[in-house]
A and B are shown apart, each in its own frame.
Chain A
Amino acid sequence: MRISKTLLYLVIFIFLLTLPLYTGVYLLNVMDIILIYMALALSWDMLLRSGQISFGMAGLFGVGGYTAVLLHLNAGLNPIVSIILGGLAAGVLAWLIGVAVLQLRGMYFAIVTLALAEIFRVIVRNLPDLTGGPEGTVLPSAIFAGNSTKTYWLTLSVALVSVITSEIFRCTRVHFALTSIRNDEIVAKSSGIDVFKYLVFIFMVTSAIQGLTGGAYAHIYGFVSPEGSFSVDFTLLPIAMALLGGMHSTWGPVVGAVLLGMVSEFLKLQIPYGHLLVYGLIIVIAILFFPQGIVGTLGKNLKRAGGA
């Protein structure tokens, strides 16, 4: 069982790694988008496992993007290094916010994160000397000179980082700590879990992943702007993906991202000005009718069928 599972993962990995050999540029670009959103959806879900909800993905995503682009432009750093530093910057910022806000949790934390994208947008817009102000900053050339195979490998590695982080958390004591915090904070506290420390830690890690993703995205498309980098898309889509796929698991958000990522390509062409409506509807319907998501619902049914 165990060996066959490892083998399966290995085959999937090799297939994904060699995907550029079999497909064209268009599909690779679609894959880029899917993998970017997959990393965001998974990082959002990782924080959700602790019972805290963040609406601040777009903010940290944009911070990562801006940091990466500005470091590359002004300090002449290698793009890859600047992307990693973008992730670190988002992580440090999240640490500061988390230390200040995570003492009061639940809706207070949610609202503060909801405001994050807006706040960073205002800050970026008001520092025109550094960030280019409302027009944003354009890179002289995209990363790898726009080579779609290499950019695909970049997004693939970003997505892998988030999948591996999620799996590491799932297999270690972090998982138990976060689950018990989600289920009952008082019990968690009396079992000796430092609730505050764990929450700040997980918020920091997930934000760093979001910053990393933002850095990669900014370098692939070669520009950052207050409206584009902090767009509500980067909050709304990952949430819809994670909810559709199923919360509190690694594979839920992954499945959701693949499904919705492909659907979104189609939707963008069909209803260019209102395609976000669909994601809002998915969130509402998922919460009302199947809070377990596709993976959770299917898993339960399979188990029931297996038991019967």
Chain B
Amino acid sequence: MTLSHKLKQGSYLIVLSSAILIMVLAFWKPHVLVEGLQRACLYAVIALPMALILGIVGIINLAHGEYMMLGAYFAYCLNVYAGMDPLVSIIPVLLAFFLIGMVSYRAIIRYVLGAPELNQLLLTFGLAMVLEQMANLIWTSRPIKLPLRYVSASATIGSFTFGTYEFIYVGAALIVLVGLQLFLKRTSMGQAALAVGQNPRGAKLVGIHVDRTYLLIFSLSIALVGAFGAIFMTRHSIFPLVGAPFTMKSFCLIAMAGIGNLMGILWCSLILGIAENFLLSFRGYAGWADILFFALIVGVIIVRSRQRQIK
């Protein structure tokens, strides 16, 4: 039973109360709503590929945020040495990270697919450390930010001014979500991937090439998150540790939405994004916003384990 299911099943009370909450918020602190939406979509774009890997390949990739960090550095290098705008460099980064994903899968991930979950967690943790420290060696830990004029674009409605550039996250989240849904539901390759996710042995029996599907899904996810790094670095400064919190937040969202529920991730990231921005909007409490996701994940786990006990 996932959150979005409950919403769909017509718990009108929840829908109504959240609508009222949003209305109140829109008048009281409109920037919380707008920035919350933008932040939520930032989280959603990063969480979606991770959910794809977890749902289909069945591996929790603790190096997920690190791939995004590498993608960001990649875009930075393309900008410095080839003069490419980060938003243009999305395409080469996407291709490069598809390859990097393939190499990672072939060289490392493939060997722990059948291993205990413990080994998988340890391996991806080690991988995360390797990637992080590699970036630390190459680019040092100094934060880097490109001076881009267009990222500070803003709009004003009445007395309320907000940044418009960040809506690029909303666009990216929608493109990734819709694209993935279409891919998984409408193409034969996507349907094969879903089948593998449900039951690898059964999929093998009906003639699906399981290993190739894993390879495709893993590389696709790494490509998506790497390419998003290029968008990410236009607005944020990047440093080797920038990706790590996103791994944890992504997992928090996946746990909330339920594994395999891509649509739910968007709803859950809305909750997390708006709640974080709500906390950030109070002076003196801003520092606490970073632990909100932790409270959320512990809460989710408690609720989940209750549900399991009742069953």
B122 and A111 within 8 A (CB)? no
The yes or no answer to A118 lying at the interface (CB within 8 A) is yes
A48 and B118 within 8 A (CB)? yes
A-side contacts of B134, CB under 8 Å: 274, 277
The yes or no answer to A299 lying at the interface (CB within 8 A) is no
B2–chain A nearest beta-carbon distance, Å:
15
A-side contacts of B247, CB under 8 Å: 114
Query: Given A100-B302, A111-B248, A236-B129, does the pair A118, B290 have CB atoms closer than 8 Å?
Result: yes
A51 and B118 within 8 A (CB)? yes
From B125, B127, B301, B309, give the contact of A100 (CB < 8 A). Answer: B301
B89-124 vs A, CB cutoff 8 Å, 1 = contact: the mask equals 000000000000000000010011001111101110
B125 and A112 within 8 A (CB)? no
The yes or no answer to A115 lying at the interface (CB within 8 A) is yes
Which B252-311 residues have C-beta < 8 A from chain A?
252, 255, 287-288, 290-291, 293-294, 297-298, 301-302, 304-305, 308-309
A107 to B123: give the CA distance in the assembly, Å.
13
B140 and A279 within 8 A (CB)? no
Q: Which of A9-17, A26-34, A254-262, A280-288 contacts the other chain?
A: A280-288
Q: Which of A119-127, A153-161, A164-172 contacts the other chain?
A: A119-127
Which A23-78 residues have C-beta < 8 A from chain B?
48, 51, 53, 55
From A107, A111, A122, A284, give the contact of B290 (CB < 8 A). Answer: A122
- Interface size bucket, A side? 35 or more
B127–chain A nearest beta-carbon distance, Å:
6
A107 and B60 within 8 A (CB)? yes
B-side contacts of A115, CB under 8 Å: 248, 293-294, 297
Which B127-151 residues have C-beta < 8 A from chain A?
127-130, 132-134, 136-137, 140-141
From A101, A106, A281, give the contact of B298 (CB < 8 A). Answer: A101
Q: Which of B118, B251, B293 has the most chain A CB within a 10 Å cutoff?
A: B118
A-side contacts of B202, CB under 8 Å: none
B288 and A53 within 8 A (CB)? no
A112 and B122 within 8 A (CB)? no
B21-64 vs A, CB cutoff 8 Å, 1 = contact: the mask equals 00000000000000000000000000000000000000010100
A239 and B122 within 8 A (CB)? yes
Query: Given A104-B304, A122-B290, A126-B287, does the pair A280, B140 have CB atoms closer than 8 Å?
Result: no
Query: Given A274-B136, A288-B123, does the pair A125, B130 have CB atoms closer than 8 Å?
Result: no
A106–chain B nearest beta-carbon distance, Å:
5
A100 to B305: give the CA distance in the assembly, Å.
9
From B287, B301, B308, give the contact of A122 (CB < 8 A). Answer: B287
The yes or no answer to B126 lying at the interface (CB within 8 A) is yes
From B137, B291, B302, give the contact of A277 (CB < 8 A). Answer: B137
A-side contacts of B117, CB under 8 Å: 106-107
A118 and B122 within 8 A (CB)? no
A291 to B123: give the CA distance in the assembly, Å.
11
Interface residue SS majority, chain A: helix
A96-134 vs B, CB cutoff 8 Å, 1 = contact: the mask equals 010011011011101110110011001101100000000
A280 and B127 within 8 A (CB)? yes
A53 and B298 within 8 A (CB)? no
The yes or no answer to A273 lying at the interface (CB within 8 A) is yes
> Looking across the interface, which residue of chain A has its beta carbon closest to that of B140?
A273
B-side contacts of A274, CB under 8 Å: 133-134, 136-137
A281 and B123 within 8 A (CB)? no
The yes or no answer to A276 lying at the interface (CB within 8 A) is yes
From A111, A112, A232, A283, give the contact of B126 (CB < 8 A). Answer: A283
B-side contacts of A119, CB under 8 Å: 291, 294
B-side contacts of A118, CB under 8 Å: 244-245, 248, 290, 294
From B127, B133, B294, B308, give the contact of A276 (CB < 8 A). Answer: B133
B208–chain A nearest beta-carbon distance, Å:
26
What are some 25 contacts across the A-B interface (CB < 8 A)?
A53-B118, A100-B298, A100-B301, A104-B301, A106-B117, A107-B117, A107-B121, A111-B60, A112-B297, A114-B247, A118-B248, A118-B294, A125-B287, A126-B288, A274-B136, A274-B137, A277-B129, A280-B130, A283-B123, A283-B125, A283-B126, A284-B108, A287-B126, A288-B111, A291-B119
Other 10 A-B pairs with CB < 8 A, given A277-B129, A277-B130: A103-B301, A110-B121, A111-B297, A112-B297, A236-B129, A271-B137, A280-B126, A280-B132, A281-B126, A288-B112
**Which of B's residues lie within 8 Å of A, judged by CB?**
60, 62, 108, 111-112, 115-119, 121-123, 125-130, 132-134, 136-137, 140-141, 244-245, 247-248, 251-252, 255, 287-288, 290-291, 293-294, 297-298, 301-302, 304-305, 308-309
Q: 7 tightest CB-CB pairs across the interface, nearest first?
A: A283-B126, A280-B129, A103-B305, A274-B137, A277-B133, A280-B130, A284-B126
**Which of A's residues lie within 8 Å of B, judged by CB?**
48, 51, 53, 55, 97, 100-101, 103-104, 106-108, 110-112, 114-115, 118-119, 122-123, 125-126, 232, 236, 239, 243, 271, 273-274, 276-277, 279-284, 287-288, 291
